[in-house]
């Protein structure tokens, strides 16, 4: 029996959301998996990449069971949705909706399943980014426990507060695509995790050469272009906002990469490919909270700021004696935490009210405008952005600390010294490169 397609379904919007979600998923696997696998010391290539794959899989399971409802379901508290099982919605073809955020939002024109998957890939990449802070020493068993627990108790709170209709969104705090929910959260939690777990072996901290810069660049390229789905998918419709967000994203990223490269050249005499990748990441992160709220000039300013402030954070602040006590392996604190904070605050300065976020497909649908300090706002939006950042930083720091301390009661957070010396072969019984070994 043939059943007609529901009238609310827009195949173009559905296709774009599924494509955008796939782009974001590719940022994690293989994007960050190969970036991590290439940028770390050879003995940690397998462990680093496998941490990404495990996180992606474990987050999906808890997401479809109950985490999605905690982040986007009916309100339970002002900062959290009800943790009810979502199994009845696993294979639904019903119309997508975010109950607590529904006021003033037109009905979405794609299925619930599409929305659940789209939001899942954002959730998964957050804990994978966080993992960049603890590469090269975190006990894999502890990581197995940490990923689903952190996702359930930490990520869902930020997501509901800002995107699910929670208290920060009611106040008017803006985060277009995850500068706070994803990157500031990952940078904060990653730094706390690095401090609690402890450092790598001193020999690894002193000498940690990338095992393959070409592999690293493959991951970086996937990350950059995958970001088109990251920021271009968040209007929820294949409309003008999606196009503006994609163009702004690439503009800011290009500027940040160039500025970071110039900073490296001035400071160290040579342009660094690792530095360029870090500049690229900082640009991607910084434009994320404002991608649909700033114009082209705003995107350029965001790129300049992202190429300067996170550079100083990584190359100066994180190298001070005090900050060096925390071994943040890939400097996630700077490239995601500081960059996300800068981008979120810049919304309060650069948001152009003429850059309307249209939350519908009809040309007559109302648009949501955000006004920054440079366009006449007296500073109200900037203050709201500060409130939002303060909450994300405080909650992530405290909750991550508690989760790790509880896990440490049952399993060690850090590998033992023998495994730290050997690396992948001791942890997984596998190595990244078998060329030249006996039998080859």
Q: Specify the DSSP class assigned to residue 414.
A: B
Taking the C-alpha atoms of residue 25 and residue 124, their distance in angstroms, rounded to an integer, is: 8
> Is the pLDDT score of 111 beyond 70?
yes
> Is the pLDDT score of 1 beyond 80?
no
Mutual angle of helices 185-197 and 112-131, in 10-degree steps: 40
Where in the chain are the domains? 27-79+110-428
User: What tens digit of pLDDT does each residue of 57-106 get?
Assistant: 999 999 999 999 999 989 999 999 988 765 554 556 688 888 888 766 77
Q: Could you tell me the CA-to-CA distances from 227 to 22, 78, 177, 341 in Å, in that order? A: 11, 30, 10, 18
Find out whether 129 and 186 touch, Cβ atoms under 8 Å: yes
Taking the C-alpha atoms of residue 137 and residue 176, their distance in angstroms, rounded to an integer, is: 34
pLDDT of 439 = 47
pLDDT of 235 = 85
HSE of 374 in the Cβ direction (CA atoms, 13 Å)? Answer: 15
Average of per-residue pLDDT values in the chain:
91
- Residue 279: pLDDT band (50, 70, 90) is very high
> Is the pLDDT score of 9 beyond 90?
no
Determine whether 58 is exposed, middle or buried from the number of CB atoms within 10 Å of its CB (0-12, 13-18, 19+). Answer: buried
Residue 293 burial (CB count, 10 A):
28
Q: Specify the DSSP class assigned to residue 111.
A: B
> Is the pLDDT score of 114 beyond 80?
yes
Find the mean pLDDT for residues 313-335.
Answer: 94
Check residues 321 and 192 and name the one with the higher pLDDT.
192
Find out whether 224 and 251 touch, Cβ atoms under 8 Å: no
Selection from 191, 214, 209, 185 nearest residue 325 by Cα: 191
Find the mean pLDDT for residues 181-192.
Answer: 97
Taking the C-alpha atoms of residue 24 and residue 21, their distance in angstroms, rounded to an integer, is: 5
Report how far Cα 403 is from the mean position of its chain's Cα atoms.
20
Find the mean pLDDT for residues 329-348.
Answer: 97
Taking the C-alpha atoms of residue 415 and residue 139, their distance in angstroms, rounded to an integer, is: 5
Q: Could you tell me the CA-to-CA distances from 20 to 1, 238, 290 in Å, in that order? A: 32, 10, 18
Selection from 92, 362, 330 nearest residue 194 by Cα: 330
pLDDT > 90: what percent of the chain? Answer: 77
Sign of CA dihedral 202, 203, 204, 209: positive
Check residues 337 and 7 and name the one with the higher pLDDT.
337
pLDDT of 366 = 57
The domain 27-79+110-428 is classified under which CATH number: 1.10.3430.10, 3.40.50.300, 3.40.50.10260, 1.10.4030.10? 1.10.3430.10
């Amino acid at each position: 029996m043939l059943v007609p397609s529901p009238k609310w379904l827009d195949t173009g919007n559905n296709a774009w959301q599924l494509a955008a979600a796939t782009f974001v998923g590719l940022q994690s696997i293989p994007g960050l998996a190969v970036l991590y696998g290439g940028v770390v010391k050879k003995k940690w290539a397998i462990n680093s990449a496998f941490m990404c794959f495990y996180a992606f899989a474990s987050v999906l399971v808890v997401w479809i069971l109950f985490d999605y409802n905690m982040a986007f379901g009916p309100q339970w508290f002002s900062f959290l949705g009800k943790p009810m099982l979502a199994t009845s919605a696993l294979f639904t073809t019903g119309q997508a909706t975010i109950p607590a955020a529904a006021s003033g939002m037109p009905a979405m024109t794609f299925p619930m399943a599409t929305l659940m998957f789209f939001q899942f890939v954002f959730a998964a990449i957050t804990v994978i980014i966080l993992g960049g802070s603890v590469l090269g020493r975190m006990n894999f068993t502890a990581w197995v426990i940490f990923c689903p627990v952190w996702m359930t108790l930490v990520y869902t709170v930020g997501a509901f507060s800002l995107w699910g209709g929670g208290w920060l969104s009611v106040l008017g705090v803006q985060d277009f695509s995850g500068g706070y929910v994803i990157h500031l959260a990952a940078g904060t939690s990653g730094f706390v995790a690095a401090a609690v777990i402890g450092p790598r072996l001193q020999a690894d901290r002193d000498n940690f050469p990338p095992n393959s810069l070409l592999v690293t660049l493959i991951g970086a390229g996937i990350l950059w272009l995958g970001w088109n789905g990251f920021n271009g998918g968040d209007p929820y419709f294949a409309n003008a906002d999606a196009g503006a967000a994609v163009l702004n994203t690439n503009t800011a990223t290009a500027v940040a990469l160039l500025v970071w490269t110039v900073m490296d050249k001035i400071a160290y005499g040579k342009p660094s490919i690792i530095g360029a990748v870090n500049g690229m990441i900082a640009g991607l992160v910084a434009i994320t909270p404002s991608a649909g709220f700033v114009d082209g000039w705003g995107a350029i300013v965001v790129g300049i700021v992202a190429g300067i402030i996170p550079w100083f954070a990584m190359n100066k602040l994180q190298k001070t004696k005090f900050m060096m006590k925390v071994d943040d392996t890939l400097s996630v604190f700077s490239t995601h935490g500081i960059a996300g904070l800068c981008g979120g605050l810049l919304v309060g300065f650069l948001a152009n009210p003429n850059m309307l976020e249209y939350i519908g497909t009809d040309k007559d649908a109302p648009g949501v405008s955000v006004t920054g300090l440079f366009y006449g706002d007296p500073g109200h939006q900037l203050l709201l952005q500060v409130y939002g950042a303060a909450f994300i930083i405080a909650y992530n720091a405290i909750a991550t600390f508690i989760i790790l301390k509880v896990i440490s009661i049952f399993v060690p957070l850090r590998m033992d010294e023998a495994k730290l010396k050997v690396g992948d072969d001791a942890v997984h019984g596998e190595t990244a490169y078998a060329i030249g070994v006996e039998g080859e």
